[in-house]
Amino acid sequence: MPPQPHEILDYILIDSNPLRARIAELGRQITADYQGQTLMLVGILKGSMLFMADLMRYIEVPHTVDFMDVSAYGAGARQSSGDVRILMDLHSPIEGQHVLIVEDIIDSGHTMDHVLRLLQARRPASLKVCTLLDKAERREVPIKLDYVGFEIPNVFVFGYGLDIDEYYRNLPYIAVVKPGIDLSHE
Ligand code: PRP
């Protein structure tokens, strides 16, 4: 059994109310920016699933949703080498569509760099990025971010879609792991 959240949680970085408020703001901004257009939201699994579900409720332009599952190569490859594997591709073509990628966190930037190159080659009408969290300090590849929920410091976070060893994605807040917790299986 994985430990209870309170056993591994150091502090809550972003609680559910500020999360909801900021996501509502992002939704309103996206609604304003895409006025008169239709939009295709592309979620990167699995971390983006809660963010996507909440964000789309605040987007009031007509939109479709699709998902890709992308992973860094090799077990325990969190310190991304830049090799990114497509585990599940989109179901729909994106040519001529206004595409907005929805991601939970940009860390080194390797995952998003790969996804952007892949999707740009499919000739969408536009391609932008919306990330809930930006750990800018860790960036290894520059990425242009169009919508950012929160810039966060270089701490290990979990909850609200982000996992530790696949658990805790259901937590309604984003928390920081206690120092000394073994994250080797993340
Ligand atoms: C996380 C996150 C991003 C990526 C960011 O995904 O959701 O996709 O890492 O890291 P990077 O900027 O260093 O590439 P992860 O591979 O942990 O998969 P998950 O979303 O299924 O948890």
Tens-place pLDDT, residues 138-166: 999 999 999 999 999 999 999 999 999 99
Per the annotation, the verdict on 104 as an active-site residue is: no
Q: Are 145 and 117 in contact (CB under 8 A)?
A: no
Tens-place pLDDT, residues 1-37: 999 999 999 999 999 999 999 999 999 999 999 999 9
Q: Are 134 and 120 in contact (CB under 8 A)?
A: no
Which of 71, 64, 20, 72 is closest to 42 using CA atoms? 64
Domain ranges for the chain, please list them: 5-31+38-70+86-177
Ligand 1 binding site (Cβ under 6 Å of any ligand atom): 44-47, 71-72, 80, 103-111, 163
Out of 45, 87, 104, 145, give the residue to mutate to test ligand 1, the one with the largest number of ligand atoms within 8 Å of its CB: 104
Q: Which CATH architecture has domain 5-31+38-70+86-177?
A: 3-Layer(aba) Sandwich (3.40)
The closest-lying atom of ligand 1 relative to the alpha carbon of residue 104 is 7
Q: Which residue has the tokens 């257009």?
A: 37
Using a 10 angstrom Cβ sphere, with 0-12 exposed, 13-18 middle and 19 or more buried, the burial of residue 35 is exposed
